[in-house]
Amino acid sequence: MVSDLENIWSQSSKRLKRSVIRELLKLTASPEVISFAGGLPAPDTFPKEDLKDVLIEMMDKESNFVLQYGTTEGDLILRKRLVENQYRPIEGMDITIDNLVIVTASQQALDLIGKIFIDPGDKIIVGAPSYLGGLAAFRTYGADMVGIDLDDEGMDPVKLEKALEEMKAAGEKPKFIYIIPDFQNPTGITMPESRRIKVLELAKKYDVLILEDSPYREIRFEGEHQKTFFALDNTGQVITIGTFSKILCPGLRIGWVIADKKIIDKIVMAKQAADLCTSPFTQRLAARYLEKELMGDLLKSTVAKYREKRDVMIEAFEKYMPEGVSWVKPQGGLFLFMTLPEHMDSEKLFMKAIEKNVAYVIGSAFYANDAGHNKLRINFSYVDKETIKEGVKRLAQVIRENM
């Protein structure tokens, strides 16, 4: 080992931090611990038999192709399927396959977007709170993240405009506004279309890109689907990220970016330096699965299961949680956000929860501005309904004992 290893790390590597969730999951490895911490889909939603059938057929007919290198832009069949069967007819996006690149899950999309846009010290705007994987990706490239508070409809446009105006007065311009509009991670909040229009108008007024992260959009339990930022715009002001991780299975590691062709071209160049291409094997497997029109029934089944689990969790909260604790009831997705009394700290409470064999994610992990200490995120998709009841009972006991 070299003697000066600590002195030769790059500046970007020094900004790296271990994922809070991944580190917390190590503490929940014991089978006695009921974990609400991860963002894991339920394994019983994975279409194992259908994928097995598709896989056998694919290997019989296309093995030479799927076992070879692929193009950086992604599998042509998969890109066409996403554009022509999903985004143009259903979502109303004015795009072609040249506006879409396949990536190795949405986390790579966040990293590549950070790589092509962010220089050290650049301002970007994020929700307060926001997805910690996005915060981690942007932090690696030295972003100065400005958190905008959320209300019941998502990012507050009044506070957003105030921040944009202050930056403009200081001669600064954020590289983009990062938003998770559907069943936001971690809060579960959905931004209504009227709010999206206001935020989009501000982005246009101040000439700023919107980065729309949409991994949960199809997992809606109730209410009306809201138009994507991209569909509301259709002028190139918006970059949209999608993924199969929550709606098909995360093991495929397939995501995509939709954007103006100039942005896609830059992402392709960055991706070529990162991994050359996303696995042709898993891309074609997903493409053939979509061709068999199996996704609709899978989504219906998944939505029904997760809706039941959400309802069971909310009922358990209402039954067991002490007064002074509140939570969001999401219209879809995988998470809800809990607020403890102001004097409580979910990080200090965490180890006491582990002692009671229940786990969650601390709220401060989702804030770029050292806030959210009395918040915590709960996942309801992974564990079964009876375990949800027991886990909530344990968590309520921990909270009550420490109030």
Q: Which two tokens stand for residue 104?
A: 């190795």
Peptide bond into 250 cis (omega under 30): no
Give residue 258's pLDDT: 98
Give the pLDDT mean for 209-231. Answer: 97
Query: Which H helix or E strand runs over 338?
Result: strand 335-339
* pLDDT of 306 higher than 80: yes
Cβ-Cβ contacts under 8 Å for 393 (sequence gap 6 or more): 316, 320
* pLDDT of 376 higher than 70: yes
Give residue 329's pLDDT: 95
Task: Give per-residue pLDDT as tens, 244-301.
Answer: 999 999 999 999 999 999 999 999 999 999 999 999 999 999 999 999 999 999 999 9
* pLDDT of 183 higher than 90: yes
Give residue 15's pLDDT: 82
Give the pLDDT mean for 95-107. Answer: 98
Give the pLDDT mean for 387-393. Answer: 98
The three-state secondary structure class of 376 is: strand
The three-state secondary structure class of 124 is: strand
> In whole numbers, what is the pLDDT of the chain averaged over residues?
95
Question: Terminal CA-to-CA distance of the chain, rounded, Å?
Answer: 50
Of the chain, the percentage scoring pLDDT greater than 70 comes to 97
Task: Give per-residue pLDDT as tens, 20-74.
Answer: 656 666 666 678 999 999 889 999 999 999 999 999 999 999 999 999 999 999 9
* pLDDT of 98 higher than 80: yes
Domains and CATH numbers, the chain: 5-46+297-401 (3.90.1150.10), 62-291 (3.40.640.10)
| 376/183 Cα distance (integer angstroms) | 16
Give residue 370's pLDDT: 84
pLDDT classification of 6: cutoffs 50, 70, 90: confident
pLDDT classification of 8: cutoffs 50, 70, 90: confident
Nearest to 131 by CA among 358, 330, 368, 350: 368
* pLDDT of 18 higher than 80: no
Give the pLDDT mean for 340-344. Answer: 96
DSSP state of 130: -
Q: Which two tokens stand for residue 27?
A: 């503490």
Bridge partners, 242 (sequence order):
256
**Exposure class string for 50-61: b at 16+ Cβ within 10 A, else e:** ebeebbeebeee
Cβ count near 186 (within 10 Å): 30
Give residue 13's pLDDT: 83
Cβ-Cβ contacts under 8 Å for 40 (sequence gap 6 or more): 250, 379, 381, 382
Give the pLDDT mean for 89-113. Answer: 97
Give the pLDDT mean for 319-333. Answer: 97
